[in-house]
Amino acid sequence: MSALLFLSKSSAIRAALLIQRWYRQYVARLEIRRRCTWNIFQSIEYAGQQDQIKLYSFFGFLMDHFTPASSERNLISHIFRENEICRDVEWERYFCYKSIDVPDSYTGPHLTFPMTFCGVSKLVEAFKHKQQLHARYVLQILGETWRLLRILPNISHLSSCHTKEITICGDLHGQLEDLLLIFYKNGLPSTEKPYVFNGDFVDRGKNSLEILLILFGFLLVYPNDVHLNRGNHEDHIVNLRYGFTKEVLGKYRVHGKKILKLLQKIFSWLPLATVIDHKVLIAHGGISDTTDLNVIARVDRHKTTNRRNGDAGVPVDFRRRVRSLTHHSSTPPQGLPRRSLHNLHTSHQHMNWSVDDELKKRRRLAGFDQSYGERKKPDSDSDPECEEGTETYEHEWEQMVDLLWSDPMPQNGCIPNEVRGGGCYWGPDVTEEVLGRHNLQLLIRSHECKQDGYEFCHNRRVLTIFSASNYYEVGSNRGAYIRMGADLVPHFVQYQASRTCRELTLRQSVGWTERSALQALRRQLFVHKSDLISAFREFDPNNTGIISPSHWASATESVLKLGLPWRVLRPQLVSSTKNGMVDYQEWMKELSITEPKLEISDTSLLETMYKNHSNLETIFRIIDTDHSGLISYEEFRQTWKLLSSHLKTEISDDVIANLAQSIDFNKDGSIDINEFMEAFRLVDLSAHS
């Protein structure tokens, strides 16, 4: 009897071990799939940021080297200069809300000023129930915020206390449900509940403006207990591409332009960092080997466009500072010929050399050396009399960009952040040196989505916090925030704002996000169709239509440059195989993507539109200076000329004219930007099959 009992127990133990081993393998496979999915989302996101930087570097090139009278230069000049109204008194008059009446039919919250806790609480409740705040109150809040921000220092200092914890939040990116969930779990900001919000409040999500208004409201009520750091998305140029500009204009068609102009000023006045107890530094992006908090503390963060009249002898660029941190203008060397867009294609080789040379010079001026990937001291080719002033400006500009755009890396050193196209990658040795030099013990930063909402690196001296849950897709990541007491030890609270996600099993959650990532990747493959076929044919000299999986992976990476494990992804992307070989011709037919709603005979133009969808929309919104959502035929033509010059390709006027006529649905001579972009939005049909 005892022997049988022993055997049954040992069998149960073996069975339990087998189940445990199977479950661990099962979870490990899911984790591999999750990480692969994550890499897809992140690679596509960073590729878009690179694209944006390249586009604005090109615009900067036009501004520096094209004739001031050229129509192309005039089309984009307004994004590189301060708004025409520059005196504070004139700003007050321009943004005066008193002439805007609130009608009796308005059902949203009515606010009184100065703002009170009760007023902001009403605002939170209204936004929770999807009510819209009247434009008069929006302008009032923004105006009061601008006045307050102007007296705040570049670096906010606050002290911890044994009786209350400081709450630190990362990126929110327009996801109001995450902010509301944080307030529900943690409580509303108050003197007893101080908060630090670490930038990137806007873009991508649908409720960026509501988030700003709530945060600004609490800032006005508790200016000593609510601290807002600037992120890289608090930038009017970035907003053109990533949705915030479109959001504001869609919600406030009459007063949207005023709101955007005031927000542009507000963003430039946001503080750059926060320090707790002189021991914990909080900044959006990070640091570099040249980071100096003393320099950051005194930098002219709002980037005044025009210096005083007494600044004679200072280089033009030093006087004409640019508010956006996505572009850094530099005065061209003496004797550099100015060109017009119309002769770009006749001197194609010269254009290629000029743009590349200019981009290299910009990186060099920012402290980067592209040849060796090492950061060097800023070099200046300005007038010797102004060299010191220009070098100071270059150093200040670099400090701000590094603070907002940089990312940590596991290796020692400091190198250009080629993945994002701005800022740097810094290693643990740089963390030790910079924190040690400033007598700090921890750097808290955001800027990167993390699967668990937070992540330590650099021997736990750098902490990333990200508060936008489900950032890429439902179930893709948790959001998190930090509670920090007098001991300065961070405690984390994680959450998922989506109820759908909370109800999914681990397998369902991974499957959901994986399908979404593969759909996004198929769209990328589709828009590079011609380039991929050319790359595949290099491995197929006999034009058989079949190549090996390794050649398929090499060719795909050479075109998309996403740094993904293509051989691992191939079974999920390619079903057309013959004896272990890839039938790439058949595979291309399998990429089921919707055709446009319009008939376009020029396939090269169609591919250009697909591939540069975001760039095209960005240029449209830059050219739409009155923010009407409509552009004329001539502005449409100029948009395509700018894009073709940026891409170094030729698109004829006839092709552009035919396209314009085909999408002018009501034949009034104007083109609706939103309708145009929607007509050419890609949809993966396999997702609906």
Decide: 646 and 55 in contact? Cβ < 8 Å: yes
What element of type H or E holds 581?
A: strand 581-583
- Residue from 317, 304, 266, 233 nearest 82 by CA: 304
Token pair of 296 as six digits: 């950051």
Q: Which amino acid is at 218?
A: F
Q: Which of 233, 255, 328, 528 is catalytic?
A: 233
CA–chain centroid gap for 555, Å, is 28
Angle at 468 between CA 465 and CA 474, to 5 degrees: 130
The answer to whether residues 581 and 546 touch, using CB atoms and an 8 Å cutoff, is yes
pLDDT of 595? 52
Q: How far is residue 380 from each of residues 66, 129, 304, 515, measured CA to CA in Å?
A: 21, 54, 21, 49
- State yes or no: is 345 an active-site residue: no
Q: What angle do CA 205, 207, 212 make, to 5 degrees?
A: 115
SS3 378: coil
Q: Left, alpha or beta for 549 (phi > 0: left; psi -120 to 50: alpha)? A: alpha
Are both 520-594 and 603-680 of the same fold?
A: yes
> What's the CATH architecture for 520-594?
Orthogonal Bundle (1.10)
| Backbone region of residue 684 per phi and psi (left: phi > 0; alpha: psi in -120 to 50; beta: other values) | beta
Q: Which candidate, 300, 302, 294, 151, places its Cα nearest to that of 224?
A: 151
- Residues near 45 by Cβ (< 8 Å), separated by ≥ 6? 472
Mean pLDDT split into 10-residue runs, the chain, 689 residues: 64 82 80 82 83 72 61 63 56 78 93 95 96 96 95 95 92 97 97 97 96 98 97 91 92 91 94 97 96 94 48 35 49 36 37 42 40 43 55 82 95 90 92 97 97 96 97 91 96 88 73 86 86 92 92 94 90 82 86 56 65 74 75 79 74 77 73 71 50
Task: Please give the pLDDT value at position 678.
Answer: 66
pLDDT of 79 reads 63
CATH superfamily of domain region 95-307+414-495: Metallo-dependent phosphatases (3.60.21.10)
pLDDT tens for each residue of 243-300: 999 999 999 988 998 999 999 999 999 999 999 999 999 999 999 999 999 999 999 8
Q: Which fold has domain 603-680?
A: Recoverin; domain 1 (1.10.238)
Strand partners for 672? 630
- List the domain boundaries for the chain: 1-68, 95-307+414-495, 520-594, 603-680
In this prediction, residue 215 carries a pLDDT of 98
Contact 636, 660 (CB under 8 A): yes
Question: pLDDT by residue (tens digit) across 41-91?
Answer: 888 888 887 777 777 676 666 666 555 656 656 666 666 655 444 566 666
The token pair that represents 142 in the structure block? 């923004």
